[in-house]
Structure 1
Amino acid sequence: MDKRSLLGRIVKIYPAIQALISGEATTSEDRGLLVSWDSLLRRRSEYTELVQKKIPENSKEIAVARSYGDLRENHEYKAAKEMQKILMKRKAELEMDLTRARGTDFADVSTSSVNPGTRVRVKELSQQKDEIYTILGAWDSDPESGIISYLSPFAKNLISKSVGDTFEMTQDHEVRKYLIESIEPHQHTFKHAGLHEDDAEDATPAVGQEVQA
């Protein structure tokens, strides 16, 4: 079984790792990431599960597969080693993101212009259609509810603009023009509103925990 076949089997079992294999995983900007406390705790929980469960389990799988001997034709060993690369890559990505992350509940956000933590009503001018977007943290995204990350292309066109400003977006190979009609504080309910960094640190283990691979 070649490497491509092994990766295909891994993706079939763990579909979520497709983005990691293809290099499509979201990368963070060099500056700090503004994130909601809810999304920060979710990301830290993912890291905890990775270093305390998934990586140790993978290490055991490698050891068991190695015991079968003849590593050149040992498909179980090759598959486990490929999974190890994926897990360690994700671990490094999470550590980088979590080191940059700054948690917030977007309280007391300024509405003089569009900022993370604001709810914005825009009008798509060609069809005179109103749309509402809530701009939250780097890891917040729920398109069906109109929640978008401030790092998304659409939000980047909105940030720092004021009521009455217009902007253009290319969507489906068509340039569309929008008018900002109103800006108000977000109405999203966070499970961990009012959390502080010390509380978040207590909720999850520290980043950078050493793992035996």
Structure 2
Amino acid sequence: MDKNYLSREGYEELEEELEDLKGRGRREIAEEIAEARAKGDLSENAEYDAAKEAQGMLEKRIAELENALANARILDEEDIKTDKVYLLSKVTIYNHNVDKEVQYTLVSKDEADFKKGKISVESPIGQALLGSEVDDVVKVDVPAGELKLEVKKIER
């Protein structure tokens, strides 16, 4: 299995989510199933079917989190160099297509959260930026076309 590189913060967030799903999540699903079961005939009980489906999805997410944490390697941000773009680098880029500067932190797919400015190293933009240096211009093919991005600053 591939190693899953995470920041300390990302690891702790995944741990918290896992504990929440194992505790509160399982408890709530069990209550929903019991409620639906109490309503009688299970063969035509849509609430029961929905609760069982939700239980399956919950257990799938728990398994994904357990796997991600089992294969996790925590990276110390202090060890991240700023000469090139690496995992956990904070990168300021200039998007020539929209004449705008944006900042992203490159993270593993498990930590990615676009609203927080965290993009996966597996995304097209993340892959294009990895290994680039300040003043490099990279071109990225995305569904909307080709992006022209210039690396302005690399930080930890």
**TM-score using structure 1 length:** 0.60
2:106 is aligned, of 114, 135, 141, to 135
1:149 aligns with 2:149: no
Partners in 1 of 2:35 and 2:149 — Cα distance?
A: 59
1:79 aligns with 2:38: no
% of aligned pairs identical? 32
> What is the CA distance between 1:45 and its match in structure 2?
1.3
Task: Report matched runs for 1:1-213 at 5 Å.
Answer: 30-125=1-96, 129-141=100-112, 143=114, 146-171=117-142, 173-183=144-154, 185-186=155-156
Q: Give SS of 1:160's match.
A: coil
Partners in 2 of 1:89 and 1:157 — Cα distance?
A: 31
On the 8 A contact 1:35/1:138 being kept in 2, the answer is no
| Matching residue's letter, 2:87 | P
Name stretches of at least 5 consecutive residues in structure 1 with no aligned partner.
1-29, 187-213
Q: Give SS of 2:24's match.
A: helix
Partners in 2 of 1:139 and 1:52 — Cα distance?
A: 21
Q: What is the CA RMSD across the aligned residues, in angstroms? A: 2.7
Q: How many residues align?
A: 156
Q: Give SS of 1:131's match.
A: strand
> Cα 1:59–1:131, aligned 2, differ >3 Å: closer, same or farther?
closer
Partners in 2 of 1:132 and 1:57 — Cα distance?
A: 39
Partners in 1 of 2:97 and 2:3 — Cα distance?
A: 37
> What is the CA distance between 1:129 and its match in structure 2?
4.3
* Residues 58-77 of structure 1 deviation map (CA, whole Å, 9 limit, x = unaligned): 23433443344322123332
* Residues 68-113 of structure 1 deviation map (CA, whole Å, 9 limit, x = unaligned): 4322123332222122212112122222222222223411311221
Name stretches of at least 5 consecutive residues in structure 2 with no aligned partner.
none
Higher relative strand content = 2
On the 8 A contact 1:123/1:180 being kept in 2, the answer is yes
> What is the CA distance between 1:57 and its match in structure 2?
3.4
**TM-score using structure 2 length:** 0.78
On the 8 A contact 1:34/1:138 being kept in 2, the answer is no
Partners in 2 of 1:67 and 1:130 — Cα distance?
A: 57
